Each structure stands twice: as C-alpha cells, then as structure tokens.
A and B are shown apart, each in its own frame.
Chain A
Amino acid sequence: MSDASRHSPPLAHLQAAPARGGADALECHVQKRLGDFSLDISLSVPASGVTALFGQSGSGKTSLLRLIAGLDRPDAGRVRLGERTLTDIANRTHVPIHKRQLGVVFQEARLFPHYRVRGNLTYGMPPSARPCFDDLVSLLGIEPLLGRLPGTLSGGEARRVAIGRALLTQPRLLLMDEPLTGLDGERKQELLRYLVRLTREIDIPVVYVSHDTAEISAIADHLALIEQGRLTAHGQLDELMMRLDLTDRLGGFDAATRLSAKVVDHDSRYSLTRVALDDGQTLRIPAIEQPPGTPIRLRVGVRDVALAHVMPEGTSYRNGLSAVIEAIEPSPQAPSASEVRLRVGRQRLRARLTRQACDEMQLKAGMIVIGLIRSVAFDSRFQSGNKGL
C-alpha cells in the first residue's frame, strides 16, 4: 500500500502543464435560477488541496459543480481557472465542456459499457499522460480489472475506474460530485482511503462535493459551506471546525476538530502508533500502516477530550496534552455543556465539558490544563493514510 510513496512523485505527469509552474486557482461568481431555487455564489478555490463544497441536499452544491464543469450555463456571472476564462456571460464566453480540461467524477461512475476498463481509462488520455498510467492504476488498485467490462464491476471498483479515467485526461481541476454516495460502509471506507491517498499524490486542485462531515474531515483542506444557494462560510477547514457558530452545520453533537501530526514509531505488541504534534508532544493512537515521518491528520471529537489540572495517575487515558485555554463559551448544542477552545503548540483543539465541571474546576482563559484523550477515541477508519503516504 505504501509503496507508491517511495518513487516520488509518480503522478507528476498528471499535471496538465508542469512548465507553467503549478496549478491554477478557480474563481467563480455565478447566478442561476432553477425554478423556485436561486443560486448566487462567489467562491474562490485555492490552487492546491481539496476544497469541499459542503451542504445539505438541495443546497445547490451540485448545481454549482455543474456550472463550473460547463454542464450548465449560469444566468449571469463568470468562471475563471487561473488566467483562463471558462464562462463569462457578459462577454458571451462559454467554453464547451470538452475544451475545459476539467476532470469530472459523477455520483454514478458513468463508465462506457461497451469499452473495457482499459478502454474507459484511455478514452480521454493524451499521450503525455501515458507514463503515469501504470502508477495511477496501481494506486487505485484497479490493475486486475483492466480487461473487464464495466457491467461486471462492483460499485466501488467502478468509482475507482471513473476517478482514474478523469485523472488520466490531465485535468487542471478535478471535480468530484459525492463520489462515495450509494456505497455501503466497508466499500465507502475503502474508496475514501484511496481518495485520500490520491489527493495527496496529485498536484491538482480538487473540488469535492459532499454532505458528510466525517468524509470531509478526512479529505478536505478547505471548506465552502453552501446553504440555500448561498455561500455562508468559506475558509480553512481546521479553522471552520473551531467555530462554535458553525457547530450545528459541521457535525453538531459529533463535532470534531483536527490535529496534524507525524508518525514516530509503532508498538506492534499493543497495536498502537505513536505520533508527534508540531510542538513535540506525542499521542498514542490505534496502529496505522504508515512509516515513521509520515504526516497524518487526526480527527478528535469534541466529546472525546477531557480536561484535568494535572496529569492523573492510575488512569486509562493514554494521552495527556499540555494545552492553554483560549476561551470558554456556552455550547450551542446543549444547555448543560460548555465549549472550551484550547491551544496545543500552534494548533487548536476543542473540548466539550459540562458547565458544572467548568465551574468546579474554575477553568479560565489563559489557564494551562491537560487535555486528556482516550486512544480508542481515534477513529482509525478516517485516520489511516490521512495527509497521506
């Protein structure tokens, strides 16, 4: 699994124009009326990393994706990718889909039933992408499927082929519309792991439409929150996850924050992996199959963090992080709870405590406390391979 990381970077050829020096940022200002629904969004997508378009079904995120892809035309506005104008209604510019050089992965795989998997993969592949065909195919684990017809593939296999097919066109931007929809739990986790690995390997900006917070916290760097056709929040996902006013939208009861860390070593006897934060503090998490030095992202549920004045003795908590309290606010989730925002090194973390505990411990902003996190609270399904290879 981790072999792909050693010959670095195997998928460099997937970049459309390496000579141009990096990928392009996407700028869009679009308006569109669809019956009673109106979409009016101005959004810029950074030139690197995964940007999640997040919102409930019917919020307009897929409509926005279709406007970017050129599958639909906005009533007004423009879409630009780097220097290139894709749509500008005022100038009557609308680059047709096939000239946009965007990779699109649809909810359904949309494989061509009369081509074998290999034929599907090479359908839009320019000769310059040929060198990375083998690497991409092995990264997606679809080598054994090359000779098969799409009708014989499982849902997860078909999605992986569709993702490979889109990437082999050397897109300037990859658009993914809820690629995990309709897969059962196991297949979903598997494909998510492939996606996380992939998005770390390629240097192409990705726009990822989803309504699942766990999925997004595993894969996204940036987040655009879309509600009723409007952009209501936009920025670094780590920062948005710290915001109490967005808690309802981003997980609610199961809200979480993220910590970035690096793998230090493995304890095979207990199946634990030790990881270090940027300030050198370490955490023990259930074992993940990554070599030492691998950067990973940890999703920490706000209800999985307890606070103590001193590191308790004789406790089952495996992790105690020294942290500074930044603020304590009433929780929007429950009248019984307070949300405590913590600083750990240069990173931030949230803890949801009962108000009673806050009062009894006399917690105040500026106080140094120990953040206790149970090792078993780390969800290895979303952790492993994260921030990739």
Chain B
Amino acid sequence: MLVEAMALSDAEWQAIVLSLKIAGSAVGWILIPGIAVAWLLARHEFRGKALLDGLLHLPLVLPPVVVGYLLLLSLGRNGWLGQWLNQGFGFSLPFTWQGAAVAGGVMAFPLLVRAVRLSLEAVDPKLEAAAGTLGANRWRVLFTITLPLAIPGLLTGTVLAFARALSEFGATITFASNIPGETRTLPLALYTLIQTPGKEAAAARLCVLSIAIAMLSLIASEWLARRARLRLEERDR
C-alpha cells in the first residue's frame, strides 16, 4: 500500500528523466565555453571586457520569458540563426528537448562563469609564473596549475548551473513549450498539475521529488569535490 503510494507513475518518471537529461545537456554544452570565458575575464585585460561582462549577466537580471522570446527570435524557424541551422543541417531547436537544453544552458551560463571566474582569480598568478620558469607553456600552466587549483570552484559552478537548468521554467516554456515527453520537465509538469483541478496530491509529490533531486545533487557535488581533492593530492604518489 505504502510502496504503491511511493512508486512513481510513468508521467513522473518521464518528467524526472527528461529534467535530468535536459539539465545535464545544458551543463554539458556550456561547460567548456563557460570556463573559457571565465578564464578570459579572470586573466586578461581587453577592450570591451565590461561590455562582455554585462552581456553575460543579462540572463540573471532579465525576466526568463524575455530570454525565451529572444531565443525564439534568433533560433526560431524564421530567426537568423534558426534559418541557417534548419537549412544547413535540417535541424530545428524550438519545441524540442534540445531547445529546452539550450534555454536552460543560457540561463545557467552566468552562474557558471561567475563561480569559475572567482575560483580562477583566487589562483595565485605567482604560481603560474613559477610554472613558466620551469618551462611550462601557457597550456600546460592552465591544465596543471590553474584549473586543478580551481577545481572546487569548477564543481560549485557546475552544480549551480545544473540546479539552475533543472529549475528553469520561463525561458523553457517560451522557447521549447510544454510538450509531454519532449520538453515537459519537472517544473513544467508541476505547473501543469497546479493548473489542473483535483491534482493537488500529484503536485505535492512532484514538489517532494524536486526537493529530493536537489538534495541528491548537492550531496553528489560534495562527494565529487572531496574525491577531486584526494585525487589531486595522490596524483604523484
């Protein structure tokens, strides 16, 4: 009886799996560009740096619906980028789960960049200069000194970005719509249930599920961070 009550329905499973898939892909596609941009901002001075910084933060301060609408304008079937994608590769983003991943990624990008940039700035440039005197070129310095020392911030940024993509609602529903099995993630499913009279219990279940997933990802990141630290310390044993 209890077990039956605890068991997840197909629709719930679908929403969970879809949410994880979309949030995971979102983090996946922004990870490398995010680190690159954070490194650029943390270690270099160039013209237009303030402008780039401001643009990056737009998704944080704009209403998500605006971001979703802008995505629709640029990546939609008639958008300049969307047309090119569609004609060149027969590929269309709006109303697909890939589109939801793009929306989640765009919304999560500033959070990732902020966390990574802070941790990169905390790496002592004197250590990088010392590595240079030991014959290490830029790339070796980046991969053996800068990034390893920034790993805690990288993990924090990744978890933040994942959580942001997981909870993404406004941009997703605007750009990718609310299609069951395709773009109906947990928040969208929850929203749908709330709109449906008599589904309060089901909504509460999704609520609890969301909390559980959030807790799990926090615990996982803690564990990863500890493991990364140990790995770093053990590397030349």
User: Which residues of A are in contact with B by a Cβ distance under 8 Å?
Assistant: 69, 71, 96-104, 106, 108, 110, 112-116, 118-119, 122-124, 147, 149, 165-166, 169
Question: Does A114 contact B135, Cβ atoms closer than 8 Å?
Answer: no
Q: Is B136 an interface residue (CB 8 A)?
A: yes
Q: Which residues of B contact A98 (CB under 8 A)?
A: 132-137
- Per-position binary interface string of chain B over residues 200-237, scored 1 when its CB falls under 8 Å from any chain A CB and 0 otherwise: 00000000000000000000000000000000110111
- Per-position binary interface string of chain B over residues 143-162, scored 1 when its CB falls under 8 Å from any chain A CB and 0 otherwise: 01100110000000000000
Question: Does B136 contact A119, Cβ atoms closer than 8 Å?
Answer: no
Q: Is B50 an interface residue (CB 8 A)?
A: no
Known: A98-B133, A166-B133. A119 touches B235 (CB 8 A): yes
Some 24 contacts from A to B, beta carbons below 8 A apart, are: A69-B133, A71-B129, A97-B132, A97-B133, A98-B133, A98-B134, A98-B137, A102-B133, A104-B133, A106-B126, A110-B126, A110-B129, A112-B145, A114-B148, A114-B149, A115-B235, A115-B236, A116-B237, A119-B235, A119-B236, A124-B134, A124-B135, A147-B237, A169-B133
Question: Does B233 contact A110, Cβ atoms closer than 8 Å?
Answer: no
Question: Does A110 contact B237, Cβ atoms closer than 8 Å?
Answer: no
- Per-position binary interface string of chain B over residues 105-133, scored 1 when its CB falls under 8 Å from any chain A CB and 0 otherwise: 00000000000000000000011011111
Report Cα–Cα, A69/B145, bound state, in Å: 20
Q: Which residues of A contact B235 (CB under 8 A)?
A: 114-115, 119
Beyond A112-B130, A169-B135, 13 additional pairs, beta carbon < 8 A: A98-B132, A98-B135, A98-B137, A103-B133, A104-B130, A110-B126, A113-B149, A114-B233, A114-B235, A119-B236, A123-B134, A166-B134, A169-B134
Report Cα–Cα, A167/B145, bound state, in Å: 20
Question: Does B130 contact A106, Cβ atoms closer than 8 Å?
Answer: yes
Question: Does B131 contact A112, Cβ atoms closer than 8 Å?
Answer: yes
Shortest Cβ distance from residue B10 to the other chain A in the assembled complex, whole angstroms = 47
Shortest Cβ distance from residue B135 to the other chain A in the assembled complex, whole angstroms = 5
Question: Does B137 contact A110, Cβ atoms closer than 8 Å?
Answer: no
Q: Which of B132, B137, B145, B232 is packed against the most chain A CB atoms within 10 Å?
A: B132
Report Cα–Cα, A108/B127, bound state, in Å: 10
Question: Does B133 contact A149, Cβ atoms closer than 8 Å?
Answer: no
User: Which residues of B are in contact with A by a Cβ distance under 8 Å?
Assistant: 126-127, 129-137, 144-145, 148-149, 232-233, 235-237
Shortest Cβ distance from residue B45 to the other chain A in the assembled complex, whole angstroms = 16
Shortest Cβ distance from residue B125 to the other chain A in the assembled complex, whole angstroms = 11
Shortest Cβ distance from residue B198 to the other chain A in the assembled complex, whole angstroms = 57
Q: Which residues of A contact B232 (CB under 8 A)?
A: 114
Question: Does A97 contact B236, Cβ atoms closer than 8 Å?
Answer: no
Q: Which residues of B contact A97 (CB under 8 A)?
A: 129, 132-133
Report Cα–Cα, A346/B215, bound state, in Å: 82
The 6 closest A-B pairs by CB, nearest first: A124-B134, A119-B236, A110-B130, A97-B132, A104-B133, A114-B232
Shortest Cβ distance from residue B191 to the other chain A in the assembled complex, whole angstroms = 45
Shortest Cβ distance from residue A83 to the other chain B in the assembled complex, whole angstroms = 20
Shortest Cβ distance from residue B43 to the other chain A in the assembled complex, whole angstroms = 15
Question: Does A124 contact B237, Cβ atoms closer than 8 Å?
Answer: no
Q: Which residues of B contact A147 (CB under 8 A)?
A: 237
Shortest Cβ distance from residue A346 to the other chain B in the assembled complex, whole angstroms = 40
Shortest Cβ distance from residue B126 to the other chain A in the assembled complex, whole angstroms = 6
Q: Which residues of B contact A108 (CB under 8 A)?
A: 126
Report Cα–Cα, A118/B235, bound state, in Å: 11
Known: A71-B129, A112-B145. A101 touches B135 (CB 8 A): yes
Question: Does B136 contact A123, Cβ atoms closer than 8 Å?
Answer: yes
Q: Which residues of A contact B144 (CB under 8 A)?
A: 123
Q: Which residues of A contact B136 (CB under 8 A)?
A: 98, 123-124
> Within the complex, which residue of B131, B233, B237 is in contact with A123, where a contact is CB–CB below 8 Å?
B131
Report Cα–Cα, A351/B82, bound state, in Å: 90
Q: Which residues of A contact B236 (CB under 8 A)?
A: 115-116, 118-119, 122
Q: Which of B131, B136, B236 is packed against the most chain A CB atoms within 10 Å?
A: B236
Q: Which residues of A contact B237 (CB under 8 A)?
A: 116, 147
Report Cα–Cα, A71/B129, bound state, in Å: 8
Q: Which residues of B contact A101 (CB under 8 A)?
A: 135
Q: Which residues of A contact B137 (CB under 8 A)?
A: 96, 98
Q: Which residues of B contact A99 (CB under 8 A)?
A: 135
Shortest Cβ distance from residue B148 to the other chain A in the assembled complex, whole angstroms = 5
Q: Which residues of B contact A119 (CB under 8 A)?
A: 235-236
Report Cα–Cα, A119/B132, bound state, in Å: 16
Q: Which of B133, B136, B137 is packed against the most chain A CB atoms within 10 Å?
A: B133
Shortest Cβ distance from residue B231 to the other chain A in the assembled complex, whole angstroms = 10
Shortest Cβ distance from residue B72 to the other chain A in the assembled complex, whole angstroms = 45
Q: Which residues of B contact A103 (CB under 8 A)?
A: 133
